[in-house]
Amino acid sequence: MVETQNNRRRIAKPLGLYIITIFDFIAVGVVPLFSVVWVARSQEIELPFVAVLTSVGLAITTMASAIWAWLGDNAGRVLLLALVTLSSVLLILNNVLLLSSDNAGTNGIRSLGWIFRAVFWIGINWWYFNRAQVVAYFKQNAV
């Protein structure tokens, strides 16, 4: 806690906020963005333009909301939670559809791993960003 001019105690930025927002920025923003660009440039796989545009937009918006949440704005926290959840649910859905298709082949174990990681990351984000101390940090910055 830090003293301010009004003698109100300010809650310092939690260490976990650095860790979670940096990880969200990289794992839910940068990596999917580079993956989509790499797959879109591949001549072997043709992605619909709408899918590329949606994936790129979701990744860029997630990176922006991670920065916004890192700055301490409650709206950024809520948006980041929504976008991480949306990205993870889409990842889960894609992998469930892959597993249920006849084309799963050797990617079945990999798909199960992606599903597990997505569910785990949704849980970590919701748990951390809804902890009382973290919510108090964000609420103190609201006007």
Q: What is the 8-class DSSP label of residue 103? A: T
Q: Calculate the alpha carbon distances from 48 to 29, 37, 99 in Å.
A: 20, 13, 21
- Least Cα distance to 69 among 128, 119, 9, 117 occurs for 128
Q: Which positions ≥6 away from 25 have C-beta within 8 Å?
A: 62, 63, 66, 67
Query: What are the pLDDT tens digits along the chain (143 aa)?
Result: 454 555 568 889 999 999 999 999 999 999 999 988 888 887 777 778 888 888 999 999 999 999 999 999 999 999 999 999 999 999 999 889 888 887 767 777 888 999 999 999 999 999 999 999 999 999 987 76
Ordered DSSP codes for 3-29:
E-TTSPEEPPPPHHHHHHHHHIIIIII
d(CA 46, CA 4): 56
Can you tell me the distance from the alpha carbon of 29 to that of 84, in angstroms, rounded to the nearest whole number?
A: 9
